[in-house]
Amino acid sequence: MIVLTSKQMREVEKIAIEKIGIPSIGLMENAGRETALEVKKILEEGNLNSVIVISGKGNNGGDGYVVARNLYNWGIDVKVFLTTSLGAISGDAKVNLDAIINMGIYVAEIIQREHLKFLEKTIKDSDVIVDAIYGIGLKGEISGITKEIIEMINQANKIVVSVDVPSGLNADTGKVEGCAVRATKTVTMQFLKPGLLVYPGADYAGEVRVAEIGIPYRLAAEVGYNYNLVTSEDVKLPKRHGNTHKGDYGKALIIAGSKNMTGAAYLCAKSAIKAGCGLVKLVVPQSVQSVIQGGLYEVITYGLAEKNGILSYDALSSVLKLIEESDAIAIGPGLTHDRDIPQLVYDIVKNTDKPVVLDADALNALVGRLEVIQGKKIILTPHYGEMSRLTGLTIDEIKNNLFEVAKTFIDRYKVTLVLKGAKTVIATKEGSIYINSTGNPGMATAGSGDVLTGMIAAFLAQGFSEEKAAIYGVFYHGKAGDIAKEYVEEYGMTAMDILEDIPEALKCGL
């Protein structure tokens, strides 16, 4: 699903209004009406009847006046409060403000502290608050009386419907600019915005509904959109035809595990099989091979050179030979960071141009030596801690600048990045950003990443591009976790639950 930044939104609006000639006030009419219909549904569902609209001085506020007019026409008790003086309103917003005043709808300014008491009382007596203070035009932090109004809205414990973007939220990053409205529901105009889809923005937006307001969808391509929300529409699976054999579904080589972490290797290899890979070979330290082979009937295991239960550099030549007969490679889960691993991982990556997914200890192995991945068919799957080690940024710097951090990394290394988090972000070497729509907190469990790595390797082995393998892997991994949640809830969820539900998850792509 297309996602536009506020800059792209403005460009699309400009083309629609100035080039195509769609009247801007018509867009505002549709935006306001779509929002009003949403509010009406909420009132009917809750047998409620009183609404206050709080409008800012821009077109977001203009939408708010249209909302008020529609609600008033439907016999709903509605009052409008301005966070600015009447005289400051202009353009389409002013046309709609004048209309509601002419209709006799209650309008009052809340621009001095003594007005706040009255607003507080009115909020208390109302059922729903419509937040039309700021939309995509927010610049910098909110302060002063408007900040107090937003805090009052949040403390009122009322149903809040935000127009386009919760006021105070940065539409592009999801950051809270000083303060932000916590919405029950956000009705966003024509296209999703990135800030509604990642934290904390996703928390503040509540349930998001995209209102179609009359802007041609094709204009998104004209402005070169590059953000996407991954939905089931984007991850259809090719039908498998009759006369095929396992070789048609790819051969994956997994290099993983050590004497204290055999489970990581198991989960990764088993997930690759479950995600449809035709043949999976697993390289582990020689002394753990029998332990692992036990539970992995469908996987061919290779016990290679080791030192004290950890793969040693002497395993390199055998690994490179196995790579030659594989379509895709996964390296990392449970390797540990000891002794020879960093050099072994570095030289494997250096000596192959096959698609590779690097996870966990393979990422740690490349800290400070990332030049070896430059321009290769490589997918990295760090969580914020691993990304912090790879980039030298703090976890907070990463969390608060997800898109920028991902784009900077991709621009520099021209690989595919899966930045795992509460909302996993995928950045591709073509410069696209994908935000995943599946998954739940129950998946933050040991081994969950190993399962994802196996799934991505499976899609790579089946011939998917790095971009598609990353998107499919992340989406179906989250989908499997959502299915698991239905019966184990989030507290009891284990990586095995996710793994077991991979086949069920894949069904939604067929």
Span near ligand LP7C6HRI by CB under 6 A; candidates 138-146, 382-390, 434-442, 497-505: 138-146
Cβ 98 vs Cβ 80: under 8 Å? no
Q: Does 131 bind K ion (CB under 5 A)?
A: yes
**DSSP symbol at 357:** E
Dist. CA 493–CA 418, nearest whole Å: 22
Site string for K ion, 48-77 (x = CB under 5 A): ------------x-----------------
Q: Which does 287 bind (CB under 5 to 8 A by kind): ligand LP7C6HRI, K ion, none?
A: none
Sign of CA dihedral 85, 89, 93, 99: positive
Span near ligand LP7C6HRI by CB under 6 A; candidates 36-44, 99-107, 160-168, 366-374: 160-168
Q: Which does 131 bind (CB under 5 to 8 A by kind): ligand LP7C6HRI, K ion, none?
A: K ion
Cβ 335 vs Cβ 352: under 8 Å? no
CB of 166 or CB of 276, closer to ligand LP7C6HRI: 166
Q: Does 164 bind ligand LP7C6HRI (CB under 6 A)?
A: yes
The answer on whether 63 is annotated among ligand-binding residues is: yes
Dist. CA 225–CA 243, nearest whole Å: 40
Q: Does 142 bind ligand LP7C6HRI (CB under 6 A)?
A: yes
Q: Does 161 bind ligand LP7C6HRI (CB under 6 A)?
A: no
Amino acid at position 413, single letter = Y
Number of residues this chain uses to bind ligand LP7C6HRI (CB under 6 A): 29
Q: Does 59 bind ligand LP7C6HRI (CB under 6 A)?
A: yes
Q: How far is CA 289 from CA 259, 325, 338, 486, in A?
A: 10, 20, 19, 35
Q: How far is CA 45 from CA 9, 41, 147, 246, 346, in A?
A: 32, 6, 31, 53, 60
Beta bridge partner(s), residue 253: 281, 329
Nearest by Cα to 327 from 253, 276, 379? 253
Sign of CA dihedral 170, 176, 179, 180: positive
Amino acid at position 423, single letter = K
Dist. CA 171–CA 403, nearest whole Å: 12
Q: Does 128 bind ligand LP7C6HRI (CB under 6 A)?
A: no
Sign of CA dihedral 315, 276, 327, 226: negative
Q: Does 364 bind ligand LP7C6HRI (CB under 6 A)?
A: no
We find the least distance from the C-beta atom of residue 419 to ligand LP7C6HRI, in angstroms, to be 28
CB of 5 or CB of 167, closer to K ion: 167
Nearest by Cα to 435 from 140, 174, 161, 164? 174
The answer on whether 116 is annotated among ligand-binding residues is: no
Dist. CA 97–CA 209, nearest whole Å: 25
Q: Which of 96, 126, 190, 271 binds ligand LP7C6HRI (CB under 6 A)?
A: 190
Dist. CA 502–CA 434, nearest whole Å: 21
**Assigned token pair, 379:** 């997918």
CB of 58 or CB of 442, closer to ligand LP7C6HRI: 58
Dist. CA 96–CA 93, nearest whole Å: 5
The answer on whether 485 is annotated among ligand-binding residues is: no
The region, left, alpha or beta by phi > 0 then psi within -120 to 50, assigned to residue 360 is: left
We find the least distance from the C-beta atom of residue 215 to K ion, in angstroms, to be 18
Amino acid at position 7, single letter = K
Cβ 188 vs Cβ 215: under 8 Å? no
Q: Does 167 bind K ion (CB under 5 A)?
A: yes
Q: Which does 139 bind (CB under 5 to 8 A by kind): ligand LP7C6HRI, K ion, none?
A: ligand LP7C6HRI
Q: Which does 9 bind (CB under 5 to 8 A by kind): ligand LP7C6HRI, K ion, none?
A: ligand LP7C6HRI
We find the least distance from the C-beta atom of residue 164 to ligand LP7C6HRI, in angstroms, to be 4
Q: Does 58 bind ligand LP7C6HRI (CB under 6 A)?
A: yes
Q: Which of 4, 12, 136, 163 binds K ion (CB under 5 A)?
A: 163
Enumerate the known binding-site residues for K(+).
Answer: 60, 131, 167
Binding site for K ion (CB under 5 A): 60, 131, 162-163, 167
Show binding-site residues for (6S)-NADPHX.
59-63, 135-141, 164, 264, 334, 383, 450
Q: Which residues bind ligand LP7C6HRI (CB under 6 A)?
A: 9, 13, 24, 27-28, 31, 56-61, 63, 134-142, 163-165, 189-190, 213, 215
